[in-house]
Amino acid sequence: MEQAISAFVRANPAAMTELEVPGRRIPLNFPREPEPPAKTPQEWVMRRSHRAQRLLSERTCAYCHGPAFHLDGGSYSGPQFMPANIVTQWMPRARFDHAPHLMVECASCHKGAETSRETSDVLMPDVASCATCHAPSKGAAARCVECHGYHDWTKAQPVKPRFKLTDFH
């Protein structure tokens, strides 16, 4: 990161003299004082790389991903993040594929999709919504097995034969 910021300041030396306006704080009634201009390119790079590092590790990425610090060959290789702890399958024991549904507007199944701005808005359609197209008289396949799997075979044990072939000789 420092290399990229150093390259930027080498290509844009006037950026060092610009007054830094700090980002807004929450609550907004506690304004921060602007920082004085950096005295050296190294100080300018250090400030920005530190700020970018904090933004990535404490706010942006860390909002969904837990940190996973790794040593790469004995040296610190920067922050790394674990996969997001996000539900990947909303309907257990069922499967759904958006691909065959691309001709339909999102809001026709997901009520509130046009106004939703939060990832916490889980806009799952109910069975009645699916049945508007998936019913015997509507044209789309309507068998239960189109979406639902009834047996969880992930925990299945190998079947042991009850008899040996030698039992019949």
pLDDT at site 126: 87
Question: Is the per-residue pLDDT at 27 higher than 50?
Answer: no
Question: Is the per-residue pLDDT at 88 higher than 80?
Answer: no
Q: Are residues 106 and 143 in the same domain?
A: yes
Q: Are residues 39 and 97 in the same domain?
A: no
Q: What is the percentage of the chain residues whose pLDDT exceeds 90?
A: 0
Q: Are residues 131 and 58 in the same domain?
A: no
Task: Determine, yes or no, domain membership for 82.
Answer: no
The domain of 165 spans 87-169
Q: What is the percentage of the chain residues whose pLDDT exceeds 70?
A: 70
What is the total count of domains within the chain? 2
Question: Is the per-residue pLDDT at 63 higher than 80?
Answer: no
Task: Determine, yes or no, domain membership for 81.
Answer: no
- Last residue in a domain, options 33, 55, 76: 76
Task: Determine, yes or no, domain membership for 64.
Answer: yes
Q: Are residues 92 and 66 in the same domain?
A: no
Task: Determine, yes or no, domain membership for 27.
Answer: yes
Q: Are residues 64 and 106 in the same domain?
A: no
- Last residue in a domain, options 76, 104, 130: 76
Q: What is the mean pLDDT of the chain?
A: 76
3-state secondary structure the chain: CHHHHHHHHHHCHHHHHCCECCCCCCCCCCCCCCECCCCCHHHHHHHHHHHHHHHHHHHHHHHCCCECCCEECCEECCCCECCCCCCCCCCCCECCCCHHHCCCCHHHHCCCCCCCCCCCCCCCCCHHHHHCCCCCCCCCCCCHHHCECCCCHHHCCCCCCCCCHHHHC
Question: Is the per-residue pLDDT at 41 higher than 80?
Answer: yes
Q: Are residues 67 and 97 in the same domain?
A: no
101-112 pLDDT tens trace: 888 888 889 988
Q: Are residues 72 and 91 in the same domain?
A: no
Taking residues 53-59, report their average pLDDT.
Answer: 72
Task: Determine, yes or no, domain membership for 122.
Answer: yes
109-136 pLDDT tens trace: 998 888 888 877 888 888 888 888 888 8
Question: Is the per-residue pLDDT at 15 higher than 50?
Answer: yes
Q: Are residues 69 and 102 in the same domain?
A: no
Question: Is the per-residue pLDDT at 26 higher than 60?
Answer: no
Taking residues 146-156, report their average pLDDT.
Answer: 74
pLDDT band at 23 (very low <50, low <70, confident <90, very high): low
Q: Are residues 91 and 163 in the same domain?
A: yes
Q: Are residues 155 and 111 in the same domain?
A: yes
- Last residue in a domain, options 76, 100, 126: 76
pLDDT band at 10 (very low <50, low <70, confident <90, very high): confident
Q: Are residues 65 and 93 in the same domain?
A: no
